[in-house]
Structure 1
Amino acid sequence: MNTMTRTAARLWCGGAAALKRLLNLLAALMLLLMMLLTTVDVLGRYLFNRPVVGASELIEIMLAAAIFLVLPTITWHREHVAVDLAEPYLPRLVRRLRDRLCHLFMTAGVAWMAMTVWKLAERAARYNSVTEYLAIPSAWAMYLIAASLWLTALTFLVLTLLGEPAEQTLAQHEPAQEAPAL
């Protein structure tokens, strides 16, 4: 790996680590708020006969936010569901080429989805589309989803250009220094 590629990989990894912490924190906050809102709604519904108005709307929005906020992190760590039936039989060079081609196709596919969702968000904003009970602008959630998809497409592009994150860390550290996976 040349010096320019190593520098780019280090810069990407540093910025990506900070962004990953922020996205994971926001997703965790969404999960915590969903849990608290569900608890208050259930207690209010069954103990006081007073459910939280719009709780289901808020939970739907927070669920979408939590899922899409962690999508770039899931992509970077390659934690998608995968079936590796032929993996042991493929040479390492073929696996690398296959992975880079898959990442390239995923970059294009996720970028297309991001553009589509962004256009839908713009249309929802133009028509002042809001949720049914709380009148929350639906474009907000769509813009968040589109931004997360753009980050995911960028992550796939970086994986295409630089290779696997594991290759980057193994090139910089000894295996004994790596933290064990949970």
Structure 2
Amino acid sequence: MEKLSRGLITLLNAAAGLLFAAAIAINFVNVVGRYVFHAPLFWAEEVTTLLVIWSVCLMSYRLTANGEHLVTDILRPFLPASLQRALLLAVTAFGVAATGFVAYYAYVVVALVARLQQLTTVAELPKEVANGSILACFALALAGSLVRLLQMADTRRPLPGAEPAEVDDAILATEGAK
């Protein structure tokens, strides 16, 4: 499963990078068109925004699977290792439930705008492309959370992505000052 997860992360990183590069290219062409030829691309801002949003949303799997997402981690450093694992399991399980809930309702919204055949205001793209980014984001975060939960269930392994380097350094500095 780890090999599959790493492969998916590589694929999503590449896709996010390509989308972000496309957004930069469109922005560059729009700036040149606007200030050199006085003919901007009327759809550039909307498409650029969508591409950047999609590039960010595609990273949600990696962030959750590796434990790189934002988390308030005030108590954990002060708990014994067994309770740290239990806390992380509980938080990750809650994350699975929360991302599943949001992914479901994002699907409901995407299905609705698809059925209504709504279009974006300027570029007239199907709105399911725009709203689909939220569905993709939370579906990928759900998959990443499930992978992380399965990794954490194996008690022989160290906690995956448990401590960012900055937290390790801060804890060591605090302990050294005592």
Classify the TM-score, shorter chain. 0.7 to 0.9
Pairing partner for 1:111 from 80, 86, 100: 100
Given that 1:100 and 1:163 are in contact with CA atoms closer than 8 Å, whether structure 2 keeps it comes out as: yes
Pairing partner for 2:13 from 12, 24, 44: 24
Write the mapping of 1:155-170 to structure 2, written as runs, cut at 5 A. Answer: 155-163=144-152, 168=157
- Note the alpha carbon deviations across 1:44-79, whole angstroms, 9 max, x for none: 111111111200110121011111100110111211
**Structure 2 residue runs without a partner (length 5+):** 160-178
Indicate the residue corresponding to 1:147 in structure 2: 136
**TM-fit CA distance, 1:27:** 0.4
- Note the alpha carbon deviations across 1:6-65, whole angstroms, 9 max, x for none: xxxxxx211111111111101001111111111111111111111112001101210111
Letter in 1 for 2:51: M
The count of corresponding residues between Structure 1 and Structure 2 is: 158
Indicate the residue corresponding to 1:98 in structure 2: 87
Letter in 1 for 2:131: M
Relative distance call for 1:102 and 1:76 in structure 2 (3 A) is same
SS at match of 1:163: helix
**TM-fit CA distance, 1:93:** 0.6
Q: Distance in 1 between matches of 2:76 and 2:133?
A: 35
- Give the alignment's Cα RMSD to 1 decimal: 2.0
Q: Is structure 2 residue 81 aligned with structure 1 residue 81? A: no
**Structure 1 residue runs without a partner (length 5+):** 1-11, 172-182
TM-score if structure 1 supplies the norm length? Answer: 0.79
- Note the alpha carbon deviations across 1:110-161, whole angstroms, 9 max, x for none: 0111111111000100110111222110112323431331121122123223
Q: Distance in 2 between matches of 1:105 and 1:130?
A: 35
SS at match of 2:90: helix
**TM-fit CA distance, 1:96:** 0.4
Q: Distance in 2 between matches of 1:152 and 1:86?
A: 24
Indicate the residue corresponding to 1:136 in structure 2: 125
Letter in 2 for 1:163: M
Pairing partner for 1:48 from 37, 47, 50: 37
SS at match of 1:49: coil
Letter in 2 for 1:21: T
Q: Distance in 2 between matches of 1:148 and 1:164?
A: 24
Indicate the residue corresponding to 1:62 in structure 2: 51
Letter in 1 for 2:68: E
Q: Distance in 2 between matches of 1:23 and 1:148?
A: 11
Relative distance call for 1:68 and 1:40 in structure 2 (3 A) is same
